[in-house]
Structure 1
């Protein structure tokens, strides 16, 4: 635990006091945690991730606790590992498993001597890998964790950056906003802003969405002469939850990958619970707009004459503009539903679909197709050359590269935290009868605490997953892991204040004072995060999907 506390202090102190780049702060903290972790803790952490707990042993039958996805429940060579988990030396007996049947395993022959309980069953391959990992140097473990994190989400973040940049440069993002607003009418402009910002925040980072839509909010406030606060808050209501709940933004993408949750399931779940947070935020937005009248203070607003651009006809069509966003979502959702339903289309068609749908629904392929469609919206723009397209892609990759570095460092930091075997430590401190809702509440509160301390929602999610996953492995989940991912996403929203860059983006760009930003932005995100978390709790209880 001391190593974890030291690592957290380095991250928080490095970012807040020494003004280090987030990547450097996370990287230095990762090295320190890895160097301070005892080798037997590394081994224990690896064993916990790939072992099944033995409940009872009788003759040739082994009764197991709940078997997770990481456990290789196949016939072959195994070890029964017994002994106290906090001791460096463990007693391992080699056995051969003939077959598995639900939560029981059948041995080929009786054991020479009965192992001490509690004990664990683990394949010899995984046991050897755990021992090998414990003997690896700290720097090698950090480098390996960095590479694994990049393999999971590096390509996805790069493709999402290209999608966002091309949508902005081509005018496709502006077309989406304009079309939705015109379809709903001026009376429902705030709802149009909510829907537009939610859609745009799926492939585009929230601060970019805010930069894009704020001029439209200022134009509407100047035209009507009132409700400036409502227009600004409607952008926040729509865009902020997608940033933490719906991939491919880095936070939910990373959390989903660490919990082995498909991107399609995470996106569907994020939208489902996010709607309730948006609803709660919308109600607070209407109340706050009646409570406080915040004027449009910028002189630049005098230059804005209309919310619609003068060259509206030169923007791409709505259908082409929306394709880079909806096609990846459709493909990812299609794969999720196809795996769940497992339809049979006949001997001729089924093998083709079994190959095509997993390929197209692969997260890297789906996002890459979205990036190609986004580049198409830009190259079809009048007077756009291939050189300009290349510059836009280069800018997107440069910005996305920084995000990838931070995310990979955060992933390595979480992995080093896991290797301290903190999950077993925390699990031993918690009541043995902890419920699923208690685990969700803990995930929410851990993420919230990290968020308040260091400010970044994405970093909070990345850091929290390293603490929550080992605990979930120890206790077991009575529901689908997507609910745990959603609880972490909800916990990254409440209580943003001065150490959050988003706080200053909202304050400075909109012209709000610090007090006004705390009353509106900070309270709004807190309400939305709590409402979405309560929706997650209810959904996990009613539809556990275990």
Structure 2
């Protein structure tokens, strides 16, 4: 009981440190990992070793995946690949169904491109489409922002799902099919809510053009029109197919490995670069991707370090020694924990890492299924995003929306998409589980 109280206090203090006192997650996770280990009987040496093992085991392959995913995003964003994807989907669905179009665009582009960058990059297109179609800029903005958030929370190579897969020691390819289904359910929940409440979301406010991402609108022609889609979808297909096929051979082992699958995707994107100064441009995008992902990679690693301390203490395993009672609750507990952490911390990645750290012992002892639990945690991490999120304030400043109105729209909508995704996970868990 004392160990459980210690764990609860450490997690509570960790949340307070990150949210109230604005302590950076990296030192916060390390310090409270050390405190937890020492308070439960460990020595400085053993706890430090536990932290280092957790950090190293988490980043031994996730670090490269995050970096390569960001590199792919940089290439697509700067060569016109992202614009081509957006324009193609809009042409396919037309202006009548623009919220649906923006959701698909956000979902696809949100996989390789960071949320803030993707949203700012697409803002000029959003502004023009709103004027031409008569759709509320807030409706289109919300459909885009929510779909970017869903992709960030559910689809690798974004850092959160990768960290959960690592904590549960499960192949990334195995989580992609179910997570895609859950993501679709979450986005459908978003679109239904927007359809019902579109009259309440009319606004005369215009976008602050000073916030628009200044990008060169490049036009791709010929075979290059296919390359952005190939670069984006090929890694997901390869990882999924490799995980589904049970036969193990060198080819399957190669294509299902997320590092090589992502590199294959990048190979499809390379012809988008101009032949002139090809190497210097590629190196520039690589450096930019490295700079953008460095902190994310370190946070992911320290989250793994904190989780390793929790595992080594054995607190969770002893707490849930009665596996029958936990099994009966299924994936509800991981979902609620993840939703709580996002609501409190404002960070989807921190929520995913923290929840996975707590739940991991229940995966290793066979109490919970890793695939369904991963999907539940990812859906729950959509949580309730509000004033403690940087993206909340970015959205507010760009669209000149009041905080109360944004709480009633954006924050409420994140809760709805989280619950929509959670319902899909629960249904899949109920009817498809072996």
Same fold (TM over 0.5): yes
Question: Measured at CA, do residues 220 and 12 of structure 1 come closer, stay the same or move farther in structure 2, by a change above 3 Å?
Answer: same
Query: Quick check: which has more Rg, 1 or 2?
Result: 1
Q: Give the gaps of 5 or more residues in structure 2.
A: none
CA offset digits 1:483-512 (Å, max 9, x no partner): 011111111112111112221222222322
Say which of 167, 182, 186 aligns to 1:277.
186
Say which structure, 1 or 2, has more relative contact order (CA 8 Å, 6+ apart).
2
- Give the whole-Å Cα distance in 2 for the aligned partners of 1:454 and 1:300: 30
Answer whether contact 1:264 1:335 (CA < 8 A) is retained.
Answer: yes
| 2:22 pairs with 1:5 | no
Q: Distance in 1 between matches of 2:323 and 2:219?
A: 62
Distance in 1 between the 2:431 and 2:105 partners? 30
Contact 1:34 1:142 in 2 (8 A): no
Residue aligning to 1:456: 347
Whole-Å Cα distance in 1 between the matches of residues 289 and 31 of structure 2? Answer: 27
CA distance in 1, matches of 2:124, 2:148: 16
1:447 & 1:366 partners in 2: Cα distance?
29
How far did 1:359 drift?
Answer: 1.5
- 1: distance between equivalents of 2:191 and 2:426? 21
**Structure 1: gaps (5+ residues):** 40-133, 343-352
In 2, Cα distance between equivalents of 1:377 and 1:203: 18
RMSD of aligned residue pairs (Cα, Å): 2.6
Q: Give the CA deviation at 1:176.
A: 0.7
Q: CA deviation at 1:363?
A: 1.6
Tell me whether 1:416 sits opposite 2:419 in the alignment. Answer: no
Secondary structure of the residue that 1:187 maps to in structure 2? coil
Per the TM alignment, residue 371 of structure 1 is displaced from its structure 2 partner at its CA by 2.9
Q: Which of 357, 363, 370 is the equivalent residue of 1:466?
A: 357
Q: Is the 8 A contact 1:252 1:489 kept in 2?
A: yes
The answer for the alignment partner of 1:33 in structure 2 is 36
Instruction: Name the counterpart of 1:243.
Output: 152
Task: Pick closer, same or farther for the CA change 1:299–1:211 going to 2, 3 Å.
Answer: closer
The alpha-carbon deviation at position 310 of structure 1 amounts to 6.3
CA drift of 1:426 comes to 2.6
Secondary structure at the counterpart of residue 212 of structure 1: helix
1:89-168 → structure 2 map (5 Å cutoff): 137-168=46-77
Measure, in 1, the Cα distance between the counterparts of 2:62 and 2:55: 11
Q: Evaluate the alpha carbon distance shift between residue 213 and residue 437 of structure 1 in structure 2; reply closer, same or farther with a 3 A threshold.
A: farther
Aligned to 1:522: 411
CA–CA separation in structure 2 for the residues paired with 1:191 and 1:16:
34
**Residue pair 1:172, 1:316 contacting (<8 A) in 2 also:** no
Which of 101, 104, 125 does residue 195 from structure 1 map onto? 104
Structure having the higher helix fraction is 2
Distance 1:498 1:156, change over 3 A: same
- Alignment partner of 1:502 is 2:391: yes
Provide TM-score, normalisation by structure 1. Answer: 0.73
2:85 to 157, 173, 176: 176
Shift of 1:528: 0.8
User: Which of the two has greater strand per residue?
Assistant: 1
Q: Give the 4+ runs in structure 1 shifted more than 6 A.
A: none
Once structures 1 and 2 are overlaid, which stretch shifts more, 531-540 or 466-475? Answer: 466-475
Give the 5 Å matches for 1:42-57: none
C-alpha offsets along residues 40-87 of structure 1, whole Å, 9 cap, x if unaligned? xxxxxxxxxxxxxxxxxxxxxxxxxxxxxxxxxxxxxxxxxxxxxxxx
**What is aligned with 1:366?**
261
Deviations, residues 173-194 of structure 1 (Å, cap 9, x unaligned): 1111111111222222222211
Instruction: Look up the SS of the partner of 1:173 in the other structure.
Output: helix
Distance 1:312 1:233 in 2: 27
Please tell me whether residue 405 in structure 1 is matched to residue 298 in structure 2: yes
**Contact conserved, 1:150 with 1:404, CA < 8 A, in 2?**
yes
